[in-house]
Amino acid sequence: MKLSKHFIVILTIFITSNMLLEAQVHDMSWRRIIQNDEADWFASQEAKNIAENVLLYQRNIGGWPKNIQMQKPLSKQEKLQLEKLKSSTEDVTTDNNATTQEMLFLSKMYKATADETYKTAFLSGLDYILKAQYPNGGWPQYYPLRKGYYTHITYNDNSMVNILNLLKNLKENTGKYAITPSNETLKKIETAFNKGIDCILKTQYKQNGVLTAWCAQHDAATLEPAKARAYELPSLSGSESAGIVLLLMDIDNPSEAIKTAVNSAVTWFEKVKILGIKQEWVLDAQSKSRNKIIVEDANAEPLWARFMELDDNTPFFCDRDGVKKATIDEIGPERRNGYSWYTENPSKVLKKYPKWKAKYDTSVKKSNTPKNEYNMVVAKDGSGDFTTIQEAMYAAKSFPYQRVIINIKNGVYNEKVHVYSWNTYVSLIGESKENTIITFDDYFGKINLGRNSTFHTSTVLVEGDDFIAKNLTIKNTSGPVGQAVALSVNANRCYFENCTLLGFQDTLYTAGEGFKHYFKDCYIEGTVDFIFGEATVLFDSCTIHSKSNSYITAASTPKGEKFGYVFKNCNLTADANVSEVYLGRPWRLYAKTVFINCNMGNHIRPEGWNNWSKKEAERLTLYAEYNCTGEGFQPEKRVNWSHQLKKSEAKKYTKENILKSNTNNSNSKWYQNL
């Protein structure tokens, strides 16, 4: 077939253009290739060839070594060598963008090709990152740990910030990554992110009692600023601190602790910025090499030193001998020219700060007056009377003569909500249980107020009588870190319907001697003693989900109370790996807990109940069951000090008997018409 000259010209241009395009991409640095947003290119053969290298460099543990130009072609011998290194854990790191950047590349490959190989490798990298986290929330420079400064919590070169930004994008499903982890992994991601932010807050350096900024690395045990290489001494870092603050400013509905951290850091940035100088490169006539110098310039943009003294913020410089110098001119050419001694990054923080402050500054309380003080609306987008639930609580009438209804639009409300004792007859009504979420991450160790810190951790604390909540999710997202309450109810005659309560240890605290609470059609999950307290509570048609081998209840029913915890028509479920759960153990000696007409999964231990090493409790508690079903209901194997109720005894467990008030007043039948 004979081709026309016109067609040959077009074909030649097309082939040449594509060759040039591939050459241009191929000639890019590895970092620029990752940042490439040309979706079609990631489906090209060139991209697949580079992806093959990325997969080869990944170790079996899930991470990658650093400073590898992945796009460079590999010889057969080099590929064989990389295969041999697969099982090695040496040099696997998140330093210098390693691992996080390869994961971003694999995500783009998966989006373009739908090749499951890239997804599997990405998730392996994610698993590596989650495993590498310290219990205190920090990440080391290398994992598995290497001796020396590599074990420090590493903010240097934004290592930990890169990790947290990755986790944040995944948990919020922002679309940056084309791969969605499983629900179980997403829970781990949320826990890891929250722990990481908590670590950041704890490592912010106090200078003479005032919060300032961060060091490039902090000791993994003491959390104090730490030394890395000889010229990287304990100090306050202008560069790394900027990345940390930008991350904190990107958190939606920040806690008061985060706001304080940001405000303090911005104050510090303003205080230590350097004006009137700039960096320049000049050619040395003798060596023909470029040298970095500092020159005066009244119009120069602000600069910040990479290292500043911990006690007074004085900039310093250091060569490989580890001796501090006052100026960069005193540093030898190798370190002077090969290291970033100044940074402009805090300018990004200062540019973003005014808008952030206007959105989240709570130093001046809003004077919003709701249109209807008995029927208020909370909406994150500003379309209601308030944007936070607590603002609505502040505006609610004290001891009102009619019910105050606070309607909450869908959204994630990251805040602690306190319904005060004077906020009686309050209803929190969510738009939907699935999407109206109140969340916070306080836990015992974070609060650190002594032996009773548990009771300060609740996401929602109810102290106003006759409270109602419907169609809400209440979460404590601190993870498996000890006592961390999601909902604390320390009021009388409180009702919860179609609510989800999520946490780990101590999810739900039901307080108040003589108080009555009613939970209907709710989902409650947790680990150790995740339903605990002294109130009389009816759980009606609820799902009670165990996340670990532990105890569902820890009642502390006062002596003389007729009823304690009563579960009727409930479904007891558990995570797949959970197989040894007790129905309850006595927090106090007179604990009462009864299960009636409940379906029990096979995770319930045959003996059913535990005495919490309190022999006397076997005589004084009332632990009983009636007419239950499921593999976990094994009455013949229960401890001999528990009870199987007779039909005549079970008839006493009516809603009215359990919940009626101890006093004959107008509220005695409060549980009706809710």
Residue 547 region by backbone torsions, left for phi larger than 0, else alpha for psi between -120 and 50, else beta: alpha
Does pLDDT of 25 surpass 70?
Answer: no
Task: Of 523, 596, 592, 517, give the one whose Cα is nearest residue 553.
Answer: 592
Tens-place pLDDT, residues 80-139? 999 999 999 999 999 999 999 999 999 999 999 999 999 999 999 999 999 999 999 999
Does residue 506 sit in the same domain as residue 384? yes
The span from the CA of 522 to the CA of 534, in Å, is 20
Does residue 598 sit in the same domain as residue 487? no
The span from the CA of 131 to the CA of 145, in Å, is 12
Cis peptide before 558 (omega within 30 of 0): no
Q: Return the percentage of the chain with pLDDT > 70, whole number.
A: 94
Tens-place pLDDT, residues 377-424? 999 888 899 999 999 999 999 999 999 999 999 999 999 999 999 999
Look at residue 667 and tell me if it is in a domain: yes
Long-range interactions of 119-123: CB distance < 8 A, separation 24+: 119/179, 121/54, 121/55, 121/58, 122/177, 122/179, 123/179, 123/181, 123/185
Angle at 364 between CA 358 and CA 369, to 5 degrees: 100
Does residue 501 sit in the same domain as residue 544? no
Cα dihedral sign, 136-129-228-206: negative
Does pLDDT of 23 surpass 50?
Answer: no
Does residue 583 sit in the same domain as residue 664? yes
Map tokens 């690395």 to a residue: 217
Does pLDDT of 289 surpass 90?
Answer: no
- How many residues are there in the chain? 674
Does residue 495 sit in the same domain as residue 434? yes
User: Of the residues 449, 477, 511, which one is the last residue of a structural domain?
Assistant: 511
Contact assessment for residue 281 and residue 289, using Cβ atoms and an 8 Å cutoff: no
Angle at 109 between CA 108 and CA 113, to 5 degrees: 120
Q: How confident is the model at residue 4 (pLDDT cuts 50, 70, 90)?
A: very low
Whole-structure pTM value: 0.56
The span from the CA of 552 to the CA of 537, in Å, is 14
Look at residue 276 and tell me if it is in a domain: no
The 3-state secondary structure of 246-303 reads HHHHCCCCCCHHHHHHHHHHHHHHHHHCECCEEEEEEECCCCCCEEEEEEECCCCCCE
Cα dihedral sign, 106-110-113-117: positive
Look at residue 77 and tell me if it is in a domain: no
Residue 2 DSSP code: P
Does residue 542 sit in the same domain as residue 673? yes
Supply the range of the domain harboring residue 561.
Answer: 537-674
Tens-place pLDDT, residues 527-545? 999 999 999 999 999 999 9
The DSSP bridge pattern shows strands 375-378 and 417-419 to be unpaired
The DSSP bridge pattern shows strands 473-476 and 277-283 to be unpaired
Number of domains into which the chain is organized? 2
529 flagged as catalytic: yes
The span from the CA of 530 to the CA of 285, in Å, is 74
**Which among 321, 506, 540, 575 is annotated as catalytic?**
506
Does residue 557 sit in the same domain as residue 453? no
The DSSP bridge pattern shows strands 217-218 and 153-154 to be antiparallel
Q: How confident is the model at residue 243 (pLDDT cuts 50, 70, 90)?
A: very high
Task: Of 242, 244, 222, 245, give the one whose Cα is nearest residue 234.
Answer: 222
Look at residue 425 and tell me if it is in a domain: yes
Q: How confident is the model at residue 362 (pLDDT cuts 50, 70, 90)?
A: low
Tens-place pLDDT, residues 134-183? 999 999 999 999 999 999 999 999 999 999 999 999 999 999 999 999 99
Look at residue 128 and tell me if it is in a domain: no
Which tokens sit at 324? 């501090």
Tens-place pLDDT, residues 459-507? 999 999 999 999 999 999 999 999 999 999 999 999 999 999 999 999 9
Torsion angles phi and psi, residue 545, rounded to 5: -115, 125
User: Of the residues 493, 511, 529, which one is the last residue of a structural domain?
Assistant: 511
Does residue 570 sit in the same domain as residue 611? yes
Average pLDDT for the chain: 92
Task: Of 161, 202, 25, give the one whose Cα is nearest residue 105.
Answer: 25
Q: How confident is the model at residue 368 (pLDDT cuts 50, 70, 90)?
A: low
Does residue 667 sit in the same domain as residue 543? yes
552: CATH? 2.160.20.10
Does residue 554 sit in the same domain as residue 485? no
**Which among 95, 219, 529, 540 is annotated as catalytic?**
529
The span from the CA of 138 to the CA of 94, in Å, is 12
DSSP characters over 60-109 = TTS-B-SS--TTS---HHHHHHHHHTTT--TT-B-GGGTTHHHHHHHHHH
Does residue 552 sit in the same domain as residue 642? yes
Q: Return the percentage of the chain with pLDDT > 90, whole number.
A: 82
Tens-place pLDDT, residues 222-238? 999 999 999 999 999 99
Look at residue 622 and tell me if it is in a domain: yes
Which tokens sit at 638? 């229960």
The span from the CA of 401 to the CA of 527, in Å, is 40
Look at residue 567 and tell me if it is in a domain: yes
Task: Of 111, 113, 255, 235, give the one whose Cα is nearest residue 178.
Answer: 111
Look at residue 498 and tell me if it is in a domain: yes
219 flagged as catalytic: no
Does residue 502 sit in the same domain as residue 544? no
